Amino acid sequence: MNIAASPQRATEIQNMTRSDTPLVRFQGVRKSFGELEVLKGIDLEVKSGEVVALIGRSGSGKSTALRCVNGLERINAGELTVCGRTLHDGKVDLRDLRQDVGIVFQSYNLFPHLTVEQNVTLAPRKVHRIGAKEARELSDQVLAQVGLSDKAKNYPEQLSGGQQQRVAIARSLAMRPKLILFDEVTSALDPELTGEVLRVIAKLAAEGMTMMLVTHEMAFARSVADQIVFMHQGRIWESGKGDMLEDPQTPELRQFVGNGL
């Protein structure tokens, strides 16, 4: 059993058993929006190759925690280290950080005026300065990874929501990130399209990509995540392996999975 009774205990156990430096480390991270404190001291580690699922009610702070990782939100207190960079001292070069940390949004946010291929290769061409030929090869490669090789010349509006989201994943992959953040990426999709997107994410997980995902897909979190983190009222309420969902230690998680399943 590695279900910890308290969040602190969970972190301690992890620190004892794993020695390699984590890709992401939250230590007492706090974040407020005005008067409202959304994160009330988060401790969390994500190791290379690990898949961490953040679950919890809307407003529990899970999306905010995720958005702190690539600097979309700036933390107010505590320490946050991502891919060897410290995000709490205000000195981090966000563009540098974001070359290592990709993100996929709920609303896809594809560039509507560009083709699928142009969407995927825009950042590599501008940021990594790769040439046209290399860009085409890269596009072929990442679109194959998400099963959309035949859509390179299409525009986003010609694709289904699930396909658009897979393009967004491909766009993120094209930057060769060390870590990808998924922010409720299937919340806007019907069950069938959700399935096609989750299959792509599961495949990436199997290939060893490090990922943090905020999700409401409990079954998916259970099968794919190495670590599940249940957040409640700005705190990590409970965390552990997939089977923790079957044996909730707190009434809050019990209620949450009871309603969710």
Q: Which residues sit at the interface with other proteins, rule CB under 8 A? A: 70, 72, 94-96, 98-99, 102-103, 105, 107, 109-115, 122-123, 126-127, 155, 157-158, 171, 175
Q: What is the DSSP letter of 70?
A: T
From the list 173, 122, 119, 176, the residue with the least C-alpha distance to 146 is 173
- From the CB of 198, what's the least distance to other proteins, in Å? 21
HEC-encoded secondary structure of 79-104: EEEECCEECCCCCCCHHHHHCCEEEE
Residue with Cβ nearer other proteins (124 or 234): 124
- From the CB of 193, what's the least distance to other proteins, in Å? 19
Residues 6+ apart with CB under 8 A from 48: 20, 22, 23, 178, 210
- From the CB of 10, what's the least distance to other proteins, in Å? 29
Residue with Cβ nearer other proteins (138 or 257): 138
- From the CB of 150, what's the least distance to other proteins, in Å? 16
Residue with Cβ nearer other proteins (37 or 105): 105
Which is it for strands 101-104 and 36-46: parallel, antiparallel or unpaired?
unpaired
Q: How far apart are alpha carbons 197 and 204 in whole angstroms? A: 11
Residue with Cβ nearer other proteins (183 or 238): 183
Q: What is the DSSP letter of 247?
A: S
Residue with Cβ nearer other proteins (6 or 109): 109
- From the CB of 70, what's the least distance to other proteins, in Å? 6
257-to-136, 191, 195, 215, 251 alpha-carbon distances in Å: 44, 19, 20, 13, 10
Report the run of H or E that residue 136 belongs to, with start and end.
Answer: helix 132-145
